[in-house]
């Protein structure tokens, strides 16, 4: 029993913290969110050099082969720094390809994803339909030996900067479609969170050759869902941590009625609540991240718990921080609103809190049928 980061994980954390703090100062984030793709390719190259693009990808394809704890460490820091980066979308797609791609698909793409030469993303939710896990509507219409795709996918992250996307169809399979394939058009969507780009991707008779369809179906993608959910939860934990630190720092320096406002319990107890929620999120995230690699049978419940909790904490803590700041916290000039927005956007990714609580209810109410002592 040892519930703390080991030396290697601690090293990943401090490298990430240092690098991200140097790259993503407030003014720089504000510049980046005005650019077309919302991030700087030069930053991407540096992240690739640090090994982040292949952190969790298998070593045989040039990745580092590290586990979900290490990935959670990295994404917690990404959230803390509010880094605008396609690292998440590309990592999630890379993991899906690594576990469900054919040998040829993996050989073709994984080394490039690991090295950062290529990027990928997931195209799951059908535009205009409920954006919930499972039940995709787009049909994979048979066409000779391949299939043809028609329709539109919404909420596709970083699509314009991705070399290919994994497109989900109603048969629960995924198809590898390159961004510049015939019939693919990409339109930027307006998101409440300017630090992550979202797109609607239209498919107009897009032909998918048989070798571009992945092997797995729905159940094979569940581990990716759980792992992705934990990584998003880690990001939200970092968001909450930073927003809490901002509130505490402000409460120490801001004076009203002749005292720092942090001396008033209305403010200090709010800060204590922020700490509680942030620490709970962190414990849930690392508990689930550990389970993913060491005890996979307990991952679904642990991941659902982590994502449900961190979905809420990820925006509630920034929200409480805005309240602790008073009027200044509501201005565009202050950075807090970016944390609120990132946290709120994260809450909806990879299953929202309500969906994950439903998964938890399913699992724990089944356990309740087991005998109760005495």
Partner 1 sequence: MDLSLSPSETEFRDEVRTWLEENNPGPEPETSLDEVIAYRREWQAKLHAASWAGISWPEEYGGRGATLIEQAIFVGEAARAETPSPANVLGLAMGGPVVIAHGSDEQKQRYLEPILTADEIWCQGFSEPESGSDLASLKTKAVKDGDEWVVTGQKVWTTLAQFAKWCMLVARTDPDAPKHKGLTYFLMDMEQEGVETKPLVQITGEGEFNEVFMEEARIPEENVVGGVGNGWSVAITTLMNERAGLAFGAIAQVANSLKRLGRLASETRVNGHSAAEDPLLRDRIAQLHIEAETMRLNAYRGLTKTMQSGIPGPEGSLGKWQWADINQRIAELALDIEGGYATLARGAEHAVANGAWQYSFLRSRANSIEGGTTDILKNIIAERVLGLPRLR
Taking the C-alpha atoms of residue 243 and residue 329, their distance in angstroms, rounded to an integer, is 11
Site string for partner 1, 327-366 (x = CB under 8 A): ---------------------------x--xx-xx--xx-
CA distances from 26 to 82, 197, 217, 262, 322 (A): 9, 18, 42, 25, 17
CB 371, min distance to partner 1, A: 9
CA distances from 306 to 188, 222, 287, 312 (A): 30, 16, 8, 10
Nearer to partner 1, 175 or 301 (CB): 301
**By CB under 8 A, residue 291 contacts partner 1:** yes
Taking the C-alpha atoms of residue 175 and residue 344, their distance in angstroms, rounded to an integer, is 29
**By CB under 8 A, residue 273 contacts partner 1:** yes
DSSP 280-339: HHHHHHHHHHHHHHH-GGGHHHHHHHHHHHHHHHHHHHHHHHHHHHGGGGGSSSSTHHHH
Sequence-ordered list of residues with C-beta below 8 angstroms from that of 64, at least 6 positions apart, any chain: 51, 54, 55, 56, 57, 70
**By CB under 8 A, residue 367 contacts partner 1:** yes
- Of 15-23, 119-127, 235-243, 281-289, the segment contacting partner 1 by CB under 8 A is 281-289
| Length of the chain in terms of residues written | 374
| Residue 14 burial by Cβ neighbours in a 10 Å radius (0-12, 13-18, 19+) | exposed
Site string for partner 1, 48-87 (x = CB under 8 A): ---------------------x------------------
Phi, psi angles (nearest 5°) of residue 304: -65, -40
Q: How many residues sit in the footprint of partner 1 (CB under 8 A)?
A: 53
CA distances from 24 to 64, 88, 141, 190 (A): 25, 16, 45, 22
- Of 102-110, 130-138, 147-155, 283-291, the segment contacting partner 1 by CB under 8 A is 283-291
Site string for partner 1, 147-186 (x = CB under 8 A): ----------------------------------------
- Of 82-90, 141-149, 227-235, 261-269, the segment contacting partner 1 by CB under 8 A is 261-269
284, 299, 322, 347: residue in contact with partner 1 (rule CB under 8 A): 284
141, 150, 187, 259: residue in contact with partner 1 (rule CB under 8 A): 259
CB 339, min distance to partner 1, A: 18
Q: Are 193 and 238 in contact (CB under 8 A)?
A: no
**By CB under 8 A, residue 286 contacts partner 1:** yes
Regarding beta strands 140-143 and 146-157, do their DSSP bridges make them parallel or antiparallel, or are they unpaired?
antiparallel
Taking the C-alpha atoms of residue 99 and residue 58, their distance in angstroms, rounded to an integer, is 10
Q: Are 203 and 150 in contact (CB under 8 A)?
A: yes
**By CB under 8 A, residue 42 contacts partner 1:** no
179, 218, 287, 348: residue in contact with partner 1 (rule CB under 8 A): 287
276, 296, 330, 331: residue in contact with partner 1 (rule CB under 8 A): 276
| Residues within the interface to partner 1 (CB under 8 A) | 1-6, 9, 69, 248, 251-252, 259-260, 262-265, 268-269, 271-273, 275-276, 279-281, 283-284, 286-287, 290-291, 294-295, 302, 305, 308-309, 354, 357-358, 360-361, 364-365, 367-370, 372-374
């Amino acid at each position: 029993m040892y519930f703390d980061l080991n030396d290697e994980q601690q090293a990943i954390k401090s490298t990430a913290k240092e690098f991200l703090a140097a790259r993503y100062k407030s003014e720089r984030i504000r510049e980046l969110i005005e650019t077309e793709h919302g991030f700087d390719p030069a930053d991407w190259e540096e992240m690739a050099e640090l090994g982040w693009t292949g952190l969790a990808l298998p070593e045989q394809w040039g990745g580092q082969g590290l586990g979900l704890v290490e990935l959670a460490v990295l994404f917690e820091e990404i959230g803390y720094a509010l880094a605008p980066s396609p690292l998440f979308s590309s990592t999630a797609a890379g993991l899906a390809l690594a576990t469900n791609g054919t040998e040829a698909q993996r050989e073709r793409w994984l080394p490039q994803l690991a090295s950062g030469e290529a990027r990928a993303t997931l195209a799951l939710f059908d535009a205009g339909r409920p954006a919930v896990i499972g039940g995709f509507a787009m049909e994979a219409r048979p066409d000779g030996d391949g299939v043809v795709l028609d329709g539109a996918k919404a909420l596709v992250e970083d699509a314009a900067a991705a070399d290919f996307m994994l497109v989900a169809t109603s048969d629960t399979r995924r198809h590898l479609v390159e961004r510049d394939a015939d019939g693919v058009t990409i339109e930027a969507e307006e998101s409440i969170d300017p630090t992550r780009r979202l797109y609607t991707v239209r498919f107009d008779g897009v032909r998918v050759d048989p070798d571009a369809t992945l092997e797995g179906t729905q159940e094979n993608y569940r581990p990716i869902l759980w792992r992705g959910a934990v990584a998003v939860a880690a990001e939200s934990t970092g968001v909450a941590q930073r927003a809490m630190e901002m509130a505490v720092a402000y409460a120490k320096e801001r004076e009203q009625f002749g005292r720092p406002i942090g001396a008033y319990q209305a403010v200090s107890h709010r800060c204590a609540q922020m700490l509680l929620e942030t620490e709970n999120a962190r414990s849930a995230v690392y508990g689930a991240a550990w389970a993913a690699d060491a005890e996979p049978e307990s991952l679904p419940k642990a991941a659902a718990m982590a994502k449900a909790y961190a979905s809420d904490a990820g925006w509630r803590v920034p929200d409480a921080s805005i309240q602790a700041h008073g009027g200044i916290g509501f201005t565009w000039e202050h950075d807090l609103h970016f944390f609120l927005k990132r946290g709120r956007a994260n809450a909806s990714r990879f299953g929202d809190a309500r969906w994950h609580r439903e998964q938890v209810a399913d699992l724990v109410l089944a356990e309740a049928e087991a005998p109760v002592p005495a």
